[in-house]
Structure 1
């Protein structure tokens, strides 16, 4: 157990470092692109990306997850996965190319034809990525993921920003991902040399696990990636660009914060799936850490969204503020449970498909009802759609927690005990920020927004930490995420101190 825990912590550290650097580049890139390009550019590309995303996910077989979950792997498993991915990439590319003309005609914009043609090439390139990277995830060795993520992001950043700076065109949003995928494929073979062999001999082994995940991803594609297609029918390209930017900002920040821990939990839970007590303990500890770290950032980002959007993106993006705020709340709700990792680790992929199906039939009626209630001016329409998304997220989060209870011994009350302290502390932080905002002597332009952030961010952080400590002490310093965090920090300090002493003696 201690060995797995050590690997888990190191894995989170490597992935966390990669995410910090990757997201820093991503956020810087987003800021630069937001200032170089127009909302119409983002709205246009969002439609094409939605089509590509749906077609790509519908053809996805989740083969990497099957490689991680299987107890015994042979070279033929990797060769089969590589062959299936290449075939899939070719089929996706052809389908996207065939859809280019009809999509351009439907939205009455000929620019979509050429955009989708180039995106078809990107989809084909993705299929060649090295399947043996699953070995690193399987063994909880994540420093290679650090190299892969960073290399791809650096190359993509330079290509995308360079094209945007020179041409000030939406083509930067299309060519940039192609450059990124080419770099990722090349680096994947540098990290793990592999000579593929064309075969489908193990397709039954891989699909027996991944088939329900595949069905689930089909529904997810219709659920999450179809937003620009549906909303694009009601929104102008300008308004759709605001919506897409709000989603991009949230995904680049709040959406990625939880990724390091979530990425390592599936292989970690898979190792202990036969021990119910250890699985329960690991799940609750990880949820406590996740919520303690992410809730203040999500709540803080939501309450500071008016200043962040103006300071980072510019005043032309102010309609994206409610999108960012609602998306932050949705992300916090989703972080309060981790059904995916525990369900995949224990083989409950059929239940995950049922979850995805249920989410679809709750989410879209809520969004369409919100659009109907907000019918009128563009802002009300956007706000109605976002409130519909928020309402559906609240309902589905509760049902997901109940599903965790059904497939494990982890109850709804267990979830509440894991998250109530960081939730209360984050709420007090938001109240403090809202209280000081009206008395700050700064305007709402760029300079004023920056000065507001300089004051409100430290105040919010101090209030959250003080509140969390006060709640913990007030409840008798019970064992929980705070105890676990203190133990990890002390262990790291002890190791660093010992290493420093050894280096000093050796010197």
Structure 2
């Protein structure tokens, strides 16, 4: 391939990434504004116990979904040529899985309610189980739009669905002041999304279980399934432990504390993956191109997520009572711990996109298995000893370990081309650790220093760290974005 053609391909891909990023960014901003408004309103209407029961129901459904995870969407994105048989087989598997899982939840709702010591959980679970059925009938052809980085339809669907869901949820909550508002709002939103998925993707569903398609989907999904189970244990297992050990009210407090970093962490990065995985998949023959994209994304996480996490951590004693009310002041300490988790989840998501895009789900499986073992060793003793702060510590420590593990395997995967990336990451990590130590020891410093000295020190370090990101990292990322390689392998 000529140099001109290589450059044109690079520019076309960059234009597609920019276009897709614009849609994803706009959709993400809208979703987060709506989610923040909904969280604030519900926190002032419902009690921590209401949030706890809803969190328990969501955790149970997520557990069932995880155990039955087939990785259909990721498998379709990763496959070079997707046929009609692949799509119809994926839809059939998804629909059957949803029906089976919902039936299981319906039958086991009473037992689960008894185990969790939450009597109100049983009826909530049986209605909430309809979400599994509705999700199972979504069009699998939406994955093809993601593969092409054509995200206009996907974002439009999410915006419409989210708007209707929030409107229904808040209307019922304001009028009736019941936790059922969240369940009903979710079900209505899912039904709207399901209908829109077929309208946007132009997919005509039919029952089919072609052997060749089944073979590929199961082969790809087997490793992804184990990865998803480990990720579920880390992400949601703590909620089940908190609910069982500390009760519904403590679970509600933990859920709201976790919701804030989720807005800037896991949920933000899940949207980032909609662009990243197809991008890496399209660059599988371009080693230098993959290294540049990875370097750029790692840098963006540092320059965006770390300052956000620091600001939320510093201002949480002001933000929490002002936004949610004084009854939620108990979430300040776990929220500060979870801000570090949010930053780590950003880095983990970038590396997950790299592994899936390069068809190496085995790397994710190994990393998540190690992270899961660390989490299982910590969650029960720390929760019993320190309450919801202990649960937050367990999640954050496991993510620190997982980030280090994934960075190691990503470095081996990319080879010498990733040296600059991890050098920058190590600098940011060292500086961030210094600032984090100062911020987390503020209460102790107040006892041994004058009342204003620790705050000034923390503010000064924060300003210096943000200055480093702006004057050192930002120009480096800008150079990466504008760089065109004439020596890439086509």
**The TM-score by the shorter chain falls in which range?**
0.7 to 0.9
Which residue of the partner structure matches residue 34 of structure 2? 25
Using the TM superposition, give the Cα deviation of residue 432 of structure 1 relative to its aligned residue in structure 2, in angstroms: 10
Q: 1:413 to 1:371 in 2, by over 3 A?
A: farther
Which residue of the partner structure matches residue 6 of structure 2? none
Which residue of the partner structure matches residue 60 of structure 2? 51
In structure 2, C-alpha distance between the alignment counterparts of 1:424 and 1:483, rounded to whole Å: 23
In structure 1, C-alpha distance between the alignment counterparts of 2:100 and 2:94, rounded to whole Å: 10
Higher mean C-alpha deviation, range 63-72 or range 416-425: 416-425
In structure 2, C-alpha distance between the alignment counterparts of 1:399 and 1:425, rounded to whole Å: 20
Q: 1:412 to 1:73 in 2, by over 3 A?
A: closer
Which residue of the partner structure matches residue 222 of structure 1? 233
Q: 1:351 to 1:459 in 2, by over 3 A?
A: closer
Give secondary structure in 1 for the equivalent of 2:179: coil
Contact 1:370-1:386 at 8 Å conserved across structures: no
Give the counterpart of 2:250 among 226, 231, 239. Answer: 239
Give the counterpart of 1:274 among 269, 282, 285. Answer: 285
Alignment of 1:328-407 (within 5 A): 328-337=339-348, 338-372=350-384, 374=385, 380-407=386-413
Higher mean C-alpha deviation, range 200-209 or range 222-231: 222-231
Give secondary structure in 2 for the equivalent of 1:234: helix
In structure 1, C-alpha distance between the alignment counterparts of 2:188 and 2:143, rounded to whole Å: 23
- TM-score, normalised by the number of residues in structure 1: 0.84
Alignment of 1:30-45 (within 5 A): 30-45=39-54
Contact 2:55-2:255 at 8 Å conserved across structures: yes
Using the TM superposition, give the Cα deviation of residue 293 of structure 1 relative to its aligned residue in structure 2, in angstroms: 1.6
In structure 1, C-alpha distance between the alignment counterparts of 2:145 and 2:202, rounded to whole Å: 13
CA offsets per residue over residues 93-116 of structure 1, 9 Å max, x none?
101101101012223333111101
Contact 2:234-2:395 at 8 Å conserved across structures: no
In structure 2, C-alpha distance between the alignment counterparts of 1:359 and 1:469, rounded to whole Å: 32
Contact 2:89-2:207 at 8 Å conserved across structures: yes
CA offsets per residue over residues 231-283 of structure 1, 9 Å max, x none?
21211211111001111122123433444433211110011112222212221
Q: 1:325 to 1:68 in 2, by over 3 A?
A: same
Using the TM superposition, give the Cα deviation of residue 156 of structure 1 relative to its aligned residue in structure 2, in angstroms: 0.5
Contact 1:292-1:422 at 8 Å conserved across structures: no
Which residue of the partner structure matches residue 468 of structure 1? 469
Using the TM superposition, give the Cα deviation of residue 459 of structure 1 relative to its aligned residue in structure 2, in angstroms: 10
CA offsets per residue over residues 16-43 of structure 1, 9 Å max, x none?
1100001100110000000010000011
In structure 1, C-alpha distance between the alignment counterparts of 2:22 and 2:451, rounded to whole Å: 39
Contact 1:58-1:221 at 8 Å conserved across structures: no
Contact 1:130-1:188 at 8 Å conserved across structures: yes
- TM-score, normalised by the number of residues in structure 2: 0.86
Unmatched 5+ residue regions in structure 2?
1-9, 484-490
In structure 1, C-alpha distance between the alignment counterparts of 2:157 and 2:460, rounded to whole Å: 37
Unmatched 5+ residue regions in structure 1?
375-379, 441-451, 453-457, 489-507
Corresponding position: 1:417 with 2:413? no
Q: Which structure is higher in RCO with an 8 Å CA cutoff and minimum separation 6?
A: 2
Contact 1:228-1:240 at 8 Å conserved across structures: yes
Q: 1:336 to 1:219 in 2, by over 3 A?
A: closer
Give secondary structure in 2 for the equivalent of 1:226: helix
In structure 2, C-alpha distance between the alignment counterparts of 1:245 and 1:22, rounded to whole Å: 17
Contact 1:428-1:464 at 8 Å conserved across structures: no
Using the TM superposition, give the Cα deviation of residue 140 of structure 1 relative to its aligned residue in structure 2, in angstroms: 0.9
In structure 2, C-alpha distance between the alignment counterparts of 1:467 and 1:397, rounded to whole Å: 22
Q: 1:427 to 1:351 in 2, by over 3 A?
A: closer
